Amino acid sequence: MESNDIKRLSRLAAILTILQTKKIVTSLTLAQKFDVSVRTIYRDIKALEQAGVPIIAEERKGYTLMEGYRIPPVMFTESEANALITIEQLVQKNSDSSLIKEYTDAINKIKAVLLYSTKNKAELLSKRIAISPSIPNKNTSNSLALIQNALTDFKVLKITYKSAQNNNTTIRNIEPFAFYYNLQENWLVIAFCLLRNDYRMFRLDRILKIEPLEISFEPHELTLKDFLDTKEKNFSMPDIPLS
């Protein structure tokens, strides 16, 4: 096989991966990424379509894959598998039990598609990693996964929240915006609070009750960087939750 053919096959596989991981991508973006002409990308897209890949071209926007289409599982390299196994041990110490469950389910699926040689090495590595017993297992919340889904689906959540300042309990409807992990190893959700009509931070371990509502909200224009920059500028201790 010629060198140019190998390069093209590699590029086609990479384009297919990008199309699956991104909602929409332009031909110019692909051309710049692979250092080829836009005309070459047009030919690549046509080749993928002829191979049966259901690519949708949205006028003046770019390319996307048909909803529900999935390519076969990605084969992880040995180093990639080792990185995931190492992180697995750290996740077990995480303060939210729902994240532990979801990560464990995900890592088991990943292990299932590893090559036998890589799988055996990953299993050996998992038995040779230990976390200091002085780091406690502190599972103080179980709502991270639910809030993550609400954030990506733009759904309002109804929470019963106990304030860290005065222990008062309030019921709030919030629009999840982002997550923050502080020095005290607590997960916090940054959300637009409809009660306060402003952005607030809520510690997950102080959410007494949480209920997803069938109410949608518009994506926030504020970026996480802008929020954190403003927070750090206005408060001398940025790890104090503003709820």
Whether 188 and 156 share a structural domain:
yes
Please report the pLDDT score of residue 125 as a whole number.
Answer: 87
Question: What φ, ψ does residue 158 adopt, rounded to 5°?
Answer: -105, 120
- Cβ atoms 171, 211 nearer than 8 A: no
Whether 115 and 161 share a structural domain:
no
Kind and range of the H or E element at 224?
A: helix 224-234
Whether 58 and 87 share a structural domain:
no
Evaluate whether residue 242 is within a structural domain: no
Whether 151 and 227 share a structural domain:
yes
What residue numbers bound the domain in which 41 lies? 3-65
Evaluate whether residue 73 is within a structural domain: no
Please report the pLDDT score of residue 72 as a whole number.
Answer: 61
- Cβ atoms 88, 126 nearer than 8 A: yes
Evaluate whether residue 135 is within a structural domain: no
Whether 40 and 86 share a structural domain:
no
Tell me the pLDDT of the chain (243 aa) as tens digits: 455 666 788 888 888 888 877 778 999 999 999 999 999 999 999 999 998 889 998 887 899 888 777 666 666 788 888 888 888 888 887 888 998 888 888 888 778 777 778 878 888 888 888 777 777 767 789 999 999 999 999 999 999 999 878 889 999 999 999 999 877 778 899 999 999 999 999 999 999 999 999 999 999 999 999 998 888 776 654 555 555
Q: What is the pTM of this model?
A: 0.65
Whether 44 and 120 share a structural domain:
no
Angle at CA of residue 129, ends 106 and 74, nearest 5°: 30
Please report the pLDDT score of residue 237 as a whole number.
Answer: 47
The tally of domains found in the chain comes to: 3
Please report the pLDDT score of residue 73 as a whole number.
Answer: 60
